[in-house]
Amino acid sequence: MKKFNKLIKNIMKIEKISGFSILFPGDMSVGIGDAEWRLEGDFYFDNEVELEEFRGRLKLTFENYCGEDCRIETFEEQQNQIDAVMEKL
């Protein structure tokens, strides 16, 4: 029974992310518009550290591709931002 309880406890800690937005701010002064890529699908992370490591690697991949800094947001983070704005209205 202890093993089962431990298993359930560990399963409850798993964080499900439904996708990532990779946001690249452009520079309109030189004719480069903003860009956004979406990485869709279910991603499961055992803890926040694992999620942040994945986010960091994803960021490095796209910064290498873009040649500039980019921002990585989960779909859930974006929805939380939308919800916060809607609550203020």
Which percentage of the chain shows pLDDT scores above 70?
Answer: 85
Kindly report the pTM of this predicted structure. Answer: 0.79
3-state class (DSSP) for residue 48: helix
Q: Beta strands of 6-87 (E only): which ranges?
A: 15-24, 35-45, 71-74
Domain that holds residue 8: 2-88
Angle at Cα 52 formed by Cα 69 and Cα 57, nearest 5°?
50
pLDDT tens digits for range 60-80 = 999 998 888 999 999 999 999
Which percentage of the chain shows pLDDT scores above 90?
Answer: 60
Contacts of 83 (CB under 8 A, 6+ apart): none
Q: How many domains does the chain contain in total?
A: 1
